[in-house]
Amino acid sequence: MAYPLDIPQLLQDLTLEEKAGLCSGQDFWHTKAVERLGIPSVMVSDGPHGLRKQDLNPDHMGIGESVQAIGFPTASAMACSFDRDLLYSVGDALGEECVAEDLAVLLGPGVNMKRSPICGRNFEYYSEDPLLAGELAASFVNGVQSHGVGTSLKHFAANNQENRRMSVSAEVDERTLREIYLSAFETVVKKAQPWTVMCSYNRINGVYSSDNPWLLQQVLRDEWGFEGLVMTDWGAMNDRVTALKAGLDLEMPSSHGETDQLIVAAVQNGTLSEEVLDLAVSRVLNMVNKYLAHRQETSYNKEAHHQLAKKTAEQSAVLLKNNCILPLHQGQKVAVIGEFARTPRTQGGGSSHINCYRMESALNALSQEKIQGITFAQGFRTDVDETDPALLEEAIQNAKNAEVAVIFAGLPDSFESEGFDRKHMNMPDCQNELIQRIHEVQPNTVVVLHSGSPVIMPWLDQVSAVLNMYLSGQASGGAAVRLLYGEANPSGKLAESFPLRLEDNPSYLNFPGTRYQVDYREGIFIGYRYYDKKKMEVLYPFGYGLSYTTFAYENLQISKQDATDTDTIIVSVTVRNTGQRAGAEIVQLYVHNPEGEEIRPEKELRNFTKVYLEPGEHKTVTMELDSRAFSYYHTGIHDWYAEDGNYEIQIGASSRDIRLRQSIQITSTKKIPFVAGDTTTWADVERFAKDPSPLKRIQELSGFGSEDSASDDDSLGASTGEMMEKMFADTPLHSILSFSGEALTYEEIQEAIRKLNEQ
């Protein structure tokens, strides 16, 4: 076939029917070919954390077998690395694998927010924080696409639950959409330009994502500058012709020609412009051109990629608790307990399920490392939540005879998967009972957790250590052993808050909603934004994680103490390893917001970096802040706005562990237009109007707002003056007439309002 495809010529040569056909899939995984014109079919593949290429008996939900591939840690795990370079490396490896498997597009990453800890697909998403999710996903996309392979950023947008995900309407206000649910997508589009964006199944404020011109055209293309094609999630098409007009280019999978006929009919009867169809076809052909530019026969080193998967798991694990029991040392008698030590849970269920090339369990790794003094007991079954007395007794006896018990526990596949949401945050009862009973006979108990999302830990106060592996891919067992024995130092930090109870989560009363809609009434306050604002206790805060060493923060420097919202602020801080082991620290930069007109989170993550240090070593790290670091989305101007004020730069080891602080004054160069209306108050005019003098005449005639009008009256109490001043300030202009003498007329108030609005 000729490369590159001559797209303008092809648009002239293609028939109307062929054009319509190119806008839907050939089957589950391929686009259509037009052989007579040399247009090839290209293949896409599921699997944000690994390839799920299916050539035979294809399906969407992972029932059929796929080719063997590397199972990297899921997004919920990788996000805890807070490591842009690591995510780029994983993307780079997956791009190499895509080329070897002759794939055009890898369907991922997913950057939807973790609105609730019980969303069934949370393991596939990065974080509750849009900045962290966007930055890491952009690095991942750049890594994949460095090989001339595309990605599909998903699921655009507000896909935060599995319950009725194909039809529910997410009712979200504009500010919340912009600040929380669209922000990560915006970052990836602007920093990485993914080849494709995948629209979500759900409706947003009553409109299906596939049919939404505001979402797909105004925001995605016009505002953010997206250059690629928009495709549906599998089966997410609602109205094919409406979707084309809205900016939806490619329907997946095949529609058996049914929706192609709808497109043809719409063009023929004049309800769809052929220019709109041509634009969609050109985007599909441009994707094919990109694929052809880098197509080659090659292979990749599976073992090298396995080692990268292990390194990623090590860097992403979060040490939640350690009463000086870890790391373990060679020669200790260790009772390894739990089926997950033998058969690790490495990934979630559903469309991202990988047929792993190799599975490295903890028992495999212990054997390969020739670690002595190990016994193993299954402890529990994963197919049912029932205590097996024989398995429990074997585990208890092993623990009694050991110096340390290490229990590999967590959520089985039946507890979390694509397709359904969890009903609670509990682990299986049989596992909680096992941990409790083991602790009774062995005080030195370590729990290694395998789950895709937060869990309740009723035994937390009793055990000596907790190592959270999340779902860490095919090398998770080897990574866990290296971490337990100190060959690797835990450096991950939580990319989501762990609440004490599900009921504490801000979405609790509105998740998953009713049959037709789910109301995002918590607004911008999800995750730590909510818990920190309410000063609510949590099990573990956002950004939390321990290490086998300690770090000190010193010498916070800010490039400008007084800045405008157009300045780039450089923040530097020195980090020192004050312990005895080499390790990496994640430095988190939060901006504490001032009190202002809008309700804002107490603080928000605005940058982060990861620094590796030898014992005693120190390094100075720098991070940048731009105007968005100080801004909120102002619905009055439909844009980002950094109000004047005193902000505080906070450097922390977590959202609840702020080590250094320094204030900075921001002056806005953007002014909010002032319009006097029926809710405008005296105080509004004084604060926002360019020239408040039109009110002077009203004040003279009415005495309203003067010092005399706010004088104390002993009969009403000592605070009357303050009370009256506040009442005057909050009185709408049109109501002044009711509190004034006869000298003031209605027309004089209206004339003052007109003059205010003429400024």
Q: Could you list the mean pLDDT of each consecutive 10-residue stretch along the chain, which spans 759 residues?
A: 89 98 96 97 92 72 74 97 98 97 97 97 97 98 98 98 96 98 98 98 98 98 98 97 98 95 98 98 98 90 97 98 96 97 92 89 94 96 96 98 98 92 97 98 98 98 98 97 98 98 98 96 98 98 98 98 96 98 98 90 98 98 97 95 96 98 95 84 80 80 62 53 73 83 83 83
End-to-end CA distance of the chain: 65
d(CA 87, CA 46): 18
All CATH 3.40.50.1700 domain ranges of the chain, comma separated, are 306-533
Q: In 524-614, which ranges are E strands?
A: 551-558, 562-564, 569-577, 583-592, 603-613
Quick one: pLDDT at residue 706? 60
- Could you give the C-alpha distances from 125 to 78, 251, 347, 520, 606, in angstroms and in order? 10, 23, 12, 19, 19
**Cβ–Cβ < 8 Å for 351, 465:** no
Where are the alpha helices (H) located in 222-273, listed in sequence order? 240-246, 258-268
Both structure tokens of 558: 């800010």
3-state secondary structure at position 440:
helix
Quick one: pLDDT at residue 512? 96
**Cβ–Cβ < 8 Å for 577, 613:** yes
Peptide bond into 4 cis (omega under 30): yes
- Tell me the fold of 306-533: Rossmann fold (3.40.50)
Query: Hey, which residues are catalytic here?
Result: 233
| Beta-ladder partners of 639 | 634
d(CA 308, CA 72): 8
> What is the CB neighbour count within 10 angstroms for residue 253?
18
Q: Indicate the helix (H) or strand (E) that contains 23.
A: none
Residues 6+ away with beta carbon under 8 Å from 684: 674, 676
3-state secondary structure at position 253:
coil
**Cβ–Cβ < 8 Å for 299, 117:** no
Quick one: pLDDT at residue 65? 74
Q: In 119-242, which ranges are E strands?
A: 150-156, 169-171, 196-199, 203-204, 207-208, 229-232
| Beta-ladder partners of 410 | 450
Quick one: pLDDT at residue 702? 72
CATH pick for 7-63+89-293 out of 3.90.550.10, 3.40.50.2000, 3.20.20.70, 3.20.20.300: 3.20.20.300
- Could you give the C-alpha distances from 732 to 678, 735, 739, in angstroms and in order? 7, 5, 11
- Note the pTM of the prediction, 2 decimals: 0.95
**DSSP state, 298?**
-
All CATH 3.20.20.300 domain ranges of the chain, comma separated, are 7-63+89-293
Residues 6+ away with beta carbon under 8 Å from 427: 409, 410, 411, 415, 451, 455, 456, 457
**Cβ–Cβ < 8 Å for 684, 753:** no
| Beta-ladder partners of 346 | none
CATH number of 551-667: 2.60.40.10
Query: In terms of DSSP bridges, do strands 207-208 and 203-204 run parallel, antiparallel, or are they unpaired?
Result: antiparallel
Quick one: pLDDT at residue 704? 67
d(CA 312, CA 115): 25
- Could you give the C-alpha distances from 200 to 106, 422, 700, in angstroms and in order? 16, 20, 59
d(CA 517, CA 497): 26
Quick one: pLDDT at residue 360? 96
**Cβ–Cβ < 8 Å for 420, 163:** yes
Question: DSSP states of 186-224 as a string?
Answer: HHHHHHH--SEEEEPSSEETTEEGGG-HIIIIIIIIIIT
All CATH 2.60.40.10 domain ranges of the chain, comma separated, are 551-667
Quick one: pLDDT at residue 60? 56
Q: Indicate the helix (H) or strand (E) that contains 371.
A: none
**Cβ–Cβ < 8 Å for 179, 528:** no
Q: Tell me the Cα Rg of the chain.
A: 29
Q: Which long-range contacts (CB under 8 A, 24 or more apart) does 300-306 make?
A: 300/93, 300/96, 300/97, 300/100, 302/70, 302/357, 302/358, 305/70, 305/93, 305/96, 305/97, 306/70, 306/357, 306/358, 306/360, 306/474, 306/475
**Cβ–Cβ < 8 Å for 335, 375:** yes
Q: Is 247 left (phi over 0), alpha (psi -120 to 50) or beta?
A: left
